[in-house]
Structure 1
Amino acid sequence: MLGCVTRLRRLVRLLPLQTSLLLLFLFCTVSVFISAYFLYGVKRELEPSGGGVSGAEGASADSDDLRVTPSRLLPLRSVSGGPGVDPAGARTDPVVLVFVESQYSQLGQEIVAILESGRFQYRTEISPGKGDMPTLTDKERGRFTLVIYENILKYVNLDAWNRELLDKYCVEYGVGIIGFFKALLETQREMRTHVPNFTFNLGFSGKFFHAGSDEEDLGDDLLLSYVKEFWWFPHMWSHMQPHLFHNQSVLAEQMLLNKKFAMEHGIPINMGYAVAPHHSGVYPVHLQLYDAWKKVWSIKVTSTEEYPHLKPARFRRGFIHSGISVLPRQTCGLFTHTIFYKDYPGSPNELDKLINGGELFLTVLLNPISIFMTHLSNYGNDRLGLYTFKSLMMFVKTWTNLKIQTLPPVQLAQKYFSLFPSERDPLWQDPCEDKRHKDIWSKEKTCDRFPKLLVIGPQKTGTTALYLFLSMHPDLTSNYPSKETFEEIQFFNGHNYHRGIDWYMEYFPLPSNASSDYYFEKSANYFDSEVAAQRAAALLPKAKIITILINPADRAYSWYQHQRAHDDPVALKYSFHDVITAGHDSPAKLRVLQNRCLMPGWYAMHLERWLNYYHSSQLLVLDGQMLKTEPSSVMDKIQKFLGLTNIINYHKILAFDPKKGFWCQLLEGGKTKCLGKSKGRRYPDMDPESLAFLREYYRDHNIELSKLLYRMGQPLPSWLREELVHTR
């Protein structure tokens, strides 16, 4: 019997883990038989004959005054039918001493409920650590016939004085001890009656193994003895935030320490799931974390509460980045500091309201897939983690017909994105617009590196010339050139977007201390992209937008000639008229070229898309014809639009080059620096049939554009006024 073995603590430390667990099992088995003998033997002796005696008559006045709920700390409690008679030959009072972890602990309440249903008298006490043990004897008589520990570790780790006192009492009076230690496992088994395959997914940071008190260290060992009963995922080795690591190799070394710990202790490492402390590096994305996760752990799934923002919770979404599925995680109302039921913020009733039809219930009801993460502290003390989810499942089962199941992380991610395929592509936000995001974003990164101006096109309207003119201003700085797309980054409209904002920022210089830094980029295919406007507004909500519009018929013809100059076989094979008049049954490649010629000229439709995400005051529409003939006047307008204080007189730094046929940068000595040979290319005039076709084709589009510009308060370009004359 456990209570009769002295100095067990010292002995346990000298035994291997397997031997200790075997002895603990034998002890629990023997304790149950002995306790059953005492409990039911005493119970039979206490059962009254005949009609019995009323509780008020047999009990003391004190015991009647102390009738409170089972969750309260009780002195000696006499229940109905038990007068506390002295059985013949008994050396102890028929009272059970129950040591609980706190007044409101869930398991403690359940133990008390069992005792009450069996009509046993009991007394509850907070488990002493180094404090005083309650008085165990009264003269020559023992006060308790059985001792129950809600947490057996509280007994194992008693201080030497109290341990010796309790052991001596148990030996002298033949008293047994019952202890509980598998609350997590038992709760998991109970949850599986409501949720098929329910399994706790436990995170580990190996550095903190056996780094606590003796009690905590033993708890580590006990948990690992059931390692195969749970799912496991890696935290960081020392719980460090990954965004603080700027070197991927150093970050991977930390993960390898955790992996070594897992392998040494038999922890499964093949779940493909990981969680970063405080969501660090998951979102906003820290590329080093994703790369290290894949390299060390082969991670396929993670989760966060931060995408796109913590609040409102109903807007949390998932996304896929760098081959890792990021699932939305929900909150359940439990935090590291919520460890006692009575101390729950606002009162315990607030927690129960969350569970019983409140926000937590609605989270499960309204989300087809819910992921929750609680903390270690929620499973000690009053075990609010166990209480919350057991209660939640009972409420869901009682009031709904929902069928709930648990899936392993990788399967869960597959299920999520089969339900919500549109969420696969992320929508990057400005980290500096959300304080929580900024706190878990690398301090080596700055939002000042993002551009404040986008020149969005469309193509073949003079955007490259404008790019050159803007670069001539001392306060304006363009992006670094791309090896693939030259002066254009083409981030918001193509595959580059999935490389993330870190990749995007690398195209801009580190900002200087000067407040005049004004970055810009030009990508002419942003204008008619279906996704660029939304993506740009999410990352650059305060940016200014410039678009250049020329006659859409001229733009279409210029694109066709551009493709011919680049030896496009379709453009070389078909005439311009054949391209723009091709029917729906034409070859696919011909229709692709037709779309690229015609669709960007639907100016009103594309502008409306940008105005869905940007205020009209942030968008400037330039007359492409005026940019070609009077660039200095256009640049004056742009400087005013951007709010630049350093105004440059472009009349002095631009000169018309008659050989090229357009305006160039004026250098010292009267020389000019012009665009490359591919710009300003001369080609035959458009044939009259094509011009007539396009004038009719764009008629309604041009009318809609005039109405839109009027609403925006912007003047009509000269070419648009001319086209409107032809429509009358």
Structure 2
Amino acid sequence: MMDKQSLLPQNFVTKTTIIRKFHNYSCRPRRLQRFIKKEITAKHCVAFLAALSVLSILYYMNYLSSPFASLMRRRRPEPFMSCAILENIYLVPSNAHNHTSVAKVRIDPRVLVFVETAFSRLGREIAELLVYNRMRYKLEVSGKSLPVMTNQDKGKYGVIVFENVNKYLEMDKWNRELLDKYCREYSVGIVAFFPPSETAKFDEPVRGFPLTRHSNMRLKDAGLNPLSPILRLTRAGETAWGELPGTDWNVFITNHSTYETLEYASNASTSSSEETRNQTVYSTVVQDHGTLDGIERVFFGSGLRFWLHRLLFLDSLSYLSHGQLSLSLNRTFLIDIDDIFVGEIGTRLLPDDVRALLRTQKRIQKLVRGFKFNLGFSGKYFHHGEPEENAGDDLLTENAHEFSWFSHMWNHQQPHLYENQTQLEVDMMLNKNFAKTHNIPVDSGYSIAPHHSGVYPVHENLYTAWRHIWKVKVTSTEEYPHLRPARLRRDQHIHESHG
């Protein structure tokens, strides 16, 4: 005679058994672990991952097609400030200060940087900034004897920089006197950064100076003193709205005439009502004119995390070195916009984007005569977007004469991936015919390969095809001599094509 269980479907019995086992083991953790290892196989894991992948793809497709998501992607970021020069508003004299003086002939254009350790963060940032700007420097770990400071009757360093001002203030008497004597004799200035404090302090005296500081401050809305003689690359007249990076700023308080504010900011910790009543601003970078001891200094209340400090640091080097470490104000620049027509659906240019590009170009042309954006195009992907994006493609080609253009390969394929020279030239001809059809001017003699492929290290077929199809004379790359570290690149190294 058959029992009741034998009359049930086999899979039902199996599922019931598993449930019972799970119930029995759930109260016993060790048995539960053994049950999971036994019952959950690799097939279950693969099936789960496959299902998760399918769900992720479906969600992503739904997200792309969602009108709300499209609106979110289309929201173009706006800057916190507008350039007064571009609005024809001149708040300050537009001429940059010339820091050159006769004292420059007695010093070399070199920076001596005292760091806490060879691997300290701010010290590394200072060194990298000097490398970016092709300035010679020497790193010295604080606490040791001073290096040789002179060569015959000439100073070896134009500016002294302290990563941590305390290493300057706490120098032993002998080295401090030697350093100060060198600065006075050769008219060399000092740049020093105040480090964060472990605890917040108020009205803390700075040893040896008629200067006090508050520490561990949160600040916002930075501005510059337009009358400061230090400003050269940096121009005053605007406010950098918003909170400044970090919550450990030092601010300076003094009534002595030797000090002049270079940069100031407001307290970000106060409420709007308190701010309206007090309107207190604090000095975050101050200049010591040296009327007390004959040594000019610039004190920074924070490191280089705030972008404006990088410019002020370079200006301070120029001023304190009497122009020996000045950077030229002349700039030659080219703005390439690659991958025109290449973007994925939902990320391509819209008509409003094209109009914004034209407006921006006209604003820049007020300052740089003849400026044009340089657009790199891949014709295969023309009209591969949504209807509104295709309208953006049309508006771009209608205004083709407003821009400079260069070929970026027909299908955006890297040149070194082509099997032979013929295939490479065929694709270049497709892009050239596309340019003729849409009246795109391509006679600049300039081109860039996708991902800079084949430029350096050199792929000979690329240069041969460029010369044959496009009459390319110059190109550029970020790979020379190496991609990393970026600070050692030779900028956009433009060189003549082979042959």
| TM bucket normalised to smaller | 0.3 to 0.5
More strand by share: 2
Greater relative CO (CA pairs within 8 A, separation 6+): 2
Structure possessing the higher radius of gyration over alpha carbons: 1
